[in-house]
Structure 1
Amino acid sequence: MESASEARTLAEAARERRDIVSGEVMEEARLIRFVPGPDGVAVVPDLARKLPGRGLWVAADRASVETAARKGLFSRAAKAKLQAPPDLADQVESLLRRRVLSALGLARKGGDLTSGFEKVSAAIQSGKAAWLIEASDGAADGRRKLWAQARRQSRPPGLVGVFTASELGLALGLENVIHTAFLAGRAADRWAQDVHRLAGFSPLLPESWREEP
């Protein structure tokens, strides 16, 4: 049975907003919220959708954020003079990376992650793995074996290779983190929302992995 906070989070994610670039109405989970900063002029990202002020919503992809910044669409939507820094899309990507990585640490504390080749393999084969998270600088052999197992599942887990072993280790409080599985459940569903938003700004897999069988 889901908690009141989980139900509220899912309800908020399902709300719809209008993208100021395309004019399309879409779910909040597919958008990035921006607000005027403390100075009332600079545009700042609000990934958690909690900062005060009127929200300005942009589709969660690099091209849309760059277009909004370049064409002054934040000012037009707010009917006020706002300034969007030229590196706004890079700021969003950096914040999303931190948010996704931080959530992994919280998920481990909540028992929603498992790490290590054998444990991850077992999670995949039992159908409990929603996401396979592989260190971007890990050896290809183990990754290929796990991904081969994943592809044989009726519902293969998603694959993420955004973070290095060092970054994963720091987030999880472990050493030499190469293979991790995010177990299916509410936490994985919430994490997936930010992963999908991050995919609009940066590939989820290193280019070299795409050439692997």
Structure 2
Amino acid sequence: MRTPPNERLTPDIAEASRPRRAEPEERCPERRCILSGETGPREGLIRLAVSPDGLVLPDVQAKAPGRGAWIGVSRGELTEALAKGRLKGALSRAFKTGALEIPADLPEKVEDALRKALLDRLGLEMRTGALILGTHRIAETARGGAVSLLLHASDASEDGSRKLDQAWRVGSDREGSGLRGTVLPLDRAALSVALGRLNVVHLGLADDGAAGRVSGLLQRLLHFTGGSQAASTDDVPASAERRIDDTNT
């Protein structure tokens, strides 16, 4: 923004015209796990933050202010590190202080936070119209080639899931490929409560962008709980695969 002649550049104008400096965490697209030492995209790791009174808590949306520490291990590995004191040491080095309180149920809190983030995202996608519910509607949409990601509740019947998987393969022109929907680490009761619908057993995402957003959160949850990975390159249509890759860059 240009300043008219003879007009002083006041602090508010100077601040508005000055490019915003990215925070150190924003400038780096990858993070290093404080326990394993491995690096990866921040979307695949879990951020831990410290409250003003020193309590360590999960920050799965990575929005809490201040310094953060990142982990990319499973729940079992986190539980072991907590029990053996390795987590305390790693956090003390990351936050440069030993005055930290680590709750004994931190692994449970992390899993609960990841589940909530996934359910909240599914709710948002439903409100935008990207989420498809109902077996008959999902089957018709899938056969028409308009389903980017197919999900099943953990207690869905094998027969019902198999029929929808077949419809998805037909609509995606992937017959014989083994393409199948992902089994969620959530049962129909949890899905029904979160989405405010009765008997939610199967879900479809009708938009590549929505599929990428949901898949990213789901993969983090499955990795942490030790479940099978969601939406691998063998298990999604090419269009959805490209969108998932884009969300992880």
TM-score w.r.t. the length of structure 1 is 0.79
What are the Cα deviations for residues 114-170 of structure 1, in whole angstroms up to 9, with x where unaligned?
Answer: 111121112322333232222333333212211233355438364133222222222
What does residue 202 of structure 1 align with? Answer: 225
Aligned partners of 1:18, 1:202: CA distance in 2, in Å? 20
What are the Cα deviations for residues 2-38 of structure 1, in whole angstroms up to 9, with x where unaligned?
Answer: xxxxxxxxxx6x8111211122221101111111123
What are the Cα deviations for residues 90-129 of structure 1, in whole angstroms up to 9, with x where unaligned?
Answer: 1111111111112111111101111111211123223332
What does residue 49 of structure 2 align with? Answer: 35
Whether contact under 8 Å (2:152, 2:181) holds in the other structure is: no
**Is 1:127 paired with 2:145?**
yes
CA 1:89–1:175: 2 relative to 1, 3 Å: same
What does residue 46 of structure 1 align with? Answer: 59
User: Which runs of 5 or more residues in structure 2 are unaligned?
Assistant: 1-25, 229-249
What are the Cα deviations for residues 37-67 of structure 1, in whole angstroms up to 9, with x where unaligned?
Answer: 231x221110111101101111153245335
- SS at structure 1 position matched to 2:148: strand
What does residue 211 of structure 1 align with? Answer: none
From the CA coordinates, give the structure whose radius of gyration is larger. 2
User: Which runs of 5 or more residues in structure 1 are unaligned?
Assistant: 1-11, 206-213
Whether contact under 8 Å (1:117, 1:179) holds in the other structure is: yes
What does residue 80 of structure 1 align with? Answer: 97
Aligned partners of 2:151, 2:181: CA distance in 1, in Å? 8
Aligned partners of 1:17, 1:161: CA distance in 2, in Å? 26
Whether contact under 8 Å (1:132, 1:181) holds in the other structure is: yes
Aligned partners of 2:51, 2:96: CA distance in 1, in Å? 15
Give the stretch that moved more between structures: 159-168 or 145-154.
145-154
- SS at structure 1 position matched to 2:204: strand
CA 1:43–1:186: 2 relative to 1, 3 Å: same
Q: Higher strand proportion, which one?
A: 1
Aligned partners of 1:138, 1:28: CA distance in 2, in Å? 32
Aligned partners of 1:204, 1:120: CA distance in 2, in Å? 25
What does residue 164 of structure 1 align with? Answer: 187
- CA RMSD in angstroms comes to 2.5
What is the one-letter code of the residue matched to 1:15?
A: P
**Is 1:145 paired with 2:163?**
yes
Aligned partners of 2:125, 2:74: CA distance in 1, in Å? 25
**Is 1:110 paired with 2:133?**
no
Aligned partners of 1:203, 1:65: CA distance in 2, in Å? 12
CA 1:28–1:158: 2 relative to 1, 3 Å: farther
Match of 1:184 among 204, 207, 229: 207
| Percent sequence identity over aligned pairs | 36
Give the C-alpha shift of residue 204 in structure 1: 4.9
